[in-house]
Chain A
Amino acid sequence: MEAGTGPLLSTLLGLLLLSTPGTGGANPALVARITDKGLEYAAKEGLLVLQRELQKITLPDFTGDFKIKHLGRGHYEFHSLEVQRCELRGSSLKPLPGQGLSLAISDSSIWVRGKWKASKSFVKFRGSFDLDVKSITISVDLLLGSDPSGRPTVTASRCSSRICDLDVDISGNTRWLLNLFHNQIESKLRKVLENKVCELIQESVTSDLQPYLQTLPVTAEIDHVLGIDYSLVEAPRAMAHMLDVMFKGEIFNRNHRTPPASPTPVMNLPEDSKQMVYFAISNHAFNIASRVYHQAGYLNFSITDDMLPPDSKIRLNTKAFRPFTPQITRRYPDMNMELRGTVVSAPLLNISPGNLSLAPQMEIEGFVLLPSSAPESVFRLSVVTNVFASLTFNNSKVTGMLHPEKAQVKLIDSKVGMFNVNLFQSFLNYYLLNTLYPEVNDELAKGFPLPLPRNIRLHDLDLQIHKDFLYLGANVLYIRV
């Protein structure tokens, strides 16, 4: 079976893992919760694939000798058995607490067609026959875990299948052949089929499902600097009606990875089950990201005269700064300036029901660029603003956008006399709202990707904001290749 033809029991089964002791003790920053509905969908999709695979079952020939009253001995052959069609109808995929999942298929049928040959002495008969194998039930346990690299694993165990009913229609309709079939072939055929089904399942789990699960990213790229670590923290928990998968969810600097300063707190997930899957993202994930952005210098800015358009008449020099500091030219007649903005500390995302907010505190320091010595600091301002964040959940990425409010500016210190703070505040707000925030939003629009295996699309997205975490619900669509 080719790996590309789609896994057996695919889609959300892709999130099922063999539980082995992982990095015990750490809490995940991202939890994916698969509900009954999700498992139901997975089973449905999986069944379609299984159906296709079952049609490829090869069945052996049945040959033997017969001995019939009045006819004596002869040789029979039931050969060229081919599965015509397969219909798997009833399925249920349920969590198996402590182990993984249990899949049960019922009320299913297989249609087989074949040819028969019978010969006695030099008399040969031949014909074709149709088999209607009904009421097939299959049950298999899928054990979930994770390997040392944090990748998911799955093995099938305890597979059993049973055929309850079998209808045969032999051409010619000869009684003796029918009896022959029922006495000598039927039970053998049943056993063969039952074994073949389980064999098929075992093989598919190893060669299709397992590789499919491995398409879940362990690290995903956000941009050329940042990545996110999605390795599994521990074995997934199977509970009465849902399965929780625990991802580390740690954003890191790809050039310079340091362990996060503080551990992730536990998230208490609500009992929602309207949708197929829910992703809980701890605000800790954002705060780690914020720290990383901060340390990588993303949150600082510097404005110098050469950054203004060359044909702009307004420059960044002491003469142009007089409206804010009229007396600056007394000491620095006509020199270029630099404004350096730093975020005082990494802004923390405050997630509370209804809104997400950040309160970054910035300092802007003004420097005069002296011709022959180091820049001299001439004033310092503190800038405080409330920023509200909105998140959109776009297909497979979470993207954010900041909606800033007006910044409040206060003068900390001026070495050049009077400072027109209100006027500066209004120009700063104009710059922030028209240039800086749009640039930040462009950065946030890159989003960070959710851990999903291949060919999965999310829709019906629903975002809830809880205390300390975001809860994103979605329904799943598996794109059949």
Chain B
Amino acid sequence: MEPVLGLLLVLLTPAHASPAMPEPCELDEQGVHCSCNFSDPQPDWSNAFLCAGARDVEFYGGGRSLEPFLKRVDTEADLGQFTDVVRSLPWQRLTVGDARVPAPMLFGVLRMLGYSGLKELTLENLEVTSTTLPPLQEATGPDLNTLSLSNVSWATEDGWLAELQQWLKPGLKVLRIAQAHSLNFSCAQVRVFPSLVTLDLSDNPELGERGLISALCQRKFPALQVLALRNTGMETASGVCSVLAAASVQLQGLDLSHNSLRHTASAPGCDWPSKLNSLNLSFTELQQVPQGLPTKLNVLDLSYNQLDSKPRPDELPKVDNLLLEGNPFLEYEPHSGKYDSVVVTAPVRLTLAVSVSGTLAVLQGAGLFA
């Protein structure tokens, strides 16, 4: 019986690992969640087979370079019958991290995953080296709903999004890019994201309003509804507004929490996106309600700031749900923290946590996952 190949088209090596070493992979009782950490110098790669039947899979490369494997694998090979095996993998979520990957190998893996039903892909702490030719056919990768990148560096630097996009199918709904080395996209080469609803650029402290302009390629995000800019070095709410206006971006929800926002004395009038109805300014060290906010909002979150007096109605836009928890003035006026009965956790629409668990959302709101 032919041995079944492990992931990443890696060939099996004869056993070097002594039986006493713990195995790199662990599968939970129900067979749903599988996690592999290949941190040993010579790990047992084939142990990854354990994850073939799981839904939620993680592979961590222990920081190693995968370049030596490129010689042993033909990333252009016709996968033949192996595609049926890939098709039958029940993987829904995949996380790959902690490795140095040659671009042909990464895109080869994306091509292979195109046959699977994968919905969410997370790339963490990867260094993508070299570059490769575009695919022979467009959109040969998986039909993802969500793509998350965190601390991923690319040899193609500014052109990485355009390069990566060639391998993705157009149905992407949520794109998260954190700790990016470059968000200065070569907009001309970036294609439209026809289904992208949420763009999350949080945790890019150097971005600022200037960086945001280069990131929000005009007309490339026609379906965008939510923009998350937590911890992105934004300075003023109105500054963000002018960037949005310049980029002609339509939004319904904007998350500016965890930025140190300044108060500008005279804020020039700015046309906020007309459909904007949710604005999150929590954890922004605001001492007073900023000027130049949209005139009408469904939700305005000013919680966990430095407001030392209760905002007056003329300082505020017309808001259906106003959140003020965690501000100093509440210590003096404990009953006016709530204008309506609202829940303290951040609106679900702006919560971009993976897990369904509510505690995780609260912890995130408390800044533990900044």
Q: Is A431 an interface residue (CB 8 A)?
A: yes
The CA of A327 and the CA of B31, in the complex, are separated in Å by: 7
> Do A433 and B12 touch (CB < 8 A)?
no
Given known contacts A406-B84, A426-B84, A430-B81, A420 and B53 CB-to-CB distance under 8 angstroms: yes
> Do B90 and A427 touch (CB < 8 A)?
no
The CA of A218 and the CA of B174, in the complex, are separated in Å by: 76
Cβ 8 A contact of B4, one of A406, A425, A427: A427
Mark contacts of B47-73 with chain A using CB atoms, 8 A cut-off: 1 yes-contact digit, 0 otherwise.
101111110000000000000000000
Q: Is B29 an interface residue (CB 8 A)?
A: yes
The CA of A423 and the CA of B51, in the complex, are separated in Å by: 12
> Which residues on A sit within 8 Å (CB–CB) of B88?
422-423, 425-427
Cβ 8 A contact of B81, one of A308, A418, A434: A434
> Which residues on B sit within 8 Å (CB–CB) of A307?
1
Mark contacts of A427-449 with chain B using CB atoms, 8 A cut-off: 1 yes-contact digit, 0 otherwise.
10111011100000000000000
> Do A322 and B53 touch (CB < 8 A)?
yes
> Which residues on A sit within 8 Å (CB–CB) of B54?
323
Mark contacts of A312-330 with chain B using CB atoms, 8 A cut-off: 1 yes-contact digit, 0 otherwise.
1110100110111011001
Q: Is B353 an interface residue (CB 8 A)?
A: no
Cβ 8 A contact of A323, one of B44, B45, B51: B51
Given known contacts A322-B53, A423-B53, A313 and B84 CB-to-CB distance under 8 angstroms: no
> Which residues on A sit within 8 Å (CB–CB) of B90?
420, 422-423
Q: Is A2 an interface residue (CB 8 A)?
A: no
> Do B49 and A430 touch (CB < 8 A)?
no
Q: Is A24 an interface residue (CB 8 A)?
A: no
> Which residues on B sit within 8 Å (CB–CB) of A420?
31, 53, 90
Given known contacts A311-B15, A313-B12, A313-B46, A435 and B1 CB-to-CB distance under 8 angstroms: yes
The CA of A330 and the CA of B31, in the complex, are separated in Å by: 12
> Which residues on A sit within 8 Å (CB–CB) of B30?
326-327, 418
Cβ 8 A contact of B31, one of A309, A316, A326, A427: A326
> Do A430 and B15 touch (CB < 8 A)?
no
> Which residues on B sit within 8 Å (CB–CB) of A330?
29
Contacts of A292-320 to chain B: CB distance below 8 A: 303, 307-309, 311-314, 316, 319-320
Q: Is B85 an interface residue (CB 8 A)?
A: yes
Q: Bin the interface of chain A by size.
A: 20 to 34
Question: Nearest Cβ in chain A — how far from B72, in angstroms?
Answer: 15
> Do A431 and B31 touch (CB < 8 A)?
no
> Which residues on A sit within 8 Å (CB–CB) of B82?
430
Question: Nearest Cβ in chain B — how far from A450, in angstroms?
Answer: 35
Cβ 8 A contact of B14, one of A311, A423, A435: A311
Question: Nearest Cβ in chain A — how far from B350, in angstroms?
Answer: 36
Residue in chain A with minimal CB distance to B3:
A312
> Which residues on A sit within 8 Å (CB–CB) of B2?
430-431, 434-435
Given known contacts A311-B14, A324-B53, A420-B53, A426 and B3 CB-to-CB distance under 8 angstroms: no
Mark contacts of B1-24 with chain A using CB atoms, 8 A cut-off: 1 yes-contact digit, 0 otherwise.
111101000001011000000000
Given known contacts A309-B3, A312-B3, A431-B1, A323 and B52 CB-to-CB distance under 8 angstroms: yes
The CA of A390 and the CA of B89, in the complex, are separated in Å by: 33
Mark contacts of B82-110 with chain A using CB atoms, 8 A cut-off: 1 yes-contact digit, 0 otherwise.
10110111100000000000000000000
> Do B29 and A430 touch (CB < 8 A)?
no
Q: Is B247 an interface residue (CB 8 A)?
A: no
> Do B27 and A313 touch (CB < 8 A)?
no
> Do B85 and A430 touch (CB < 8 A)?
yes
> Which residues on A sit within 8 Å (CB–CB) of B46?
313-314
The CA of A435 and the CA of B1, in the complex, are separated in Å by: 7
Residue in chain B with minimal CB distance to A419:
B53
> Do A322 and B27 touch (CB < 8 A)?
yes
The CA of A418 and the CA of B28, in the complex, are separated in Å by: 13
> Which residues on A sit within 8 Å (CB–CB) of B15?
311, 313
Contacts of A74-132 to chain B: CB distance below 8 A: none
Q: A430-B2, A430-B85, A434-B81 are in contact. List 6 more A-B contacts (CB 8 A).
A: A313-B46, A323-B49, A418-B30, A423-B90, A429-B84, A430-B84
| Interface, chain B (partner A; CB < 8 A) | 1-4, 6, 12, 14-15, 27, 29-31, 44-47, 49-54, 81-82, 84-85, 87-90
Can you list the 4 inter-chain pairs with the closest CB atoms, starting with the nearest?
A326-B31, A313-B46, A323-B53, A426-B88
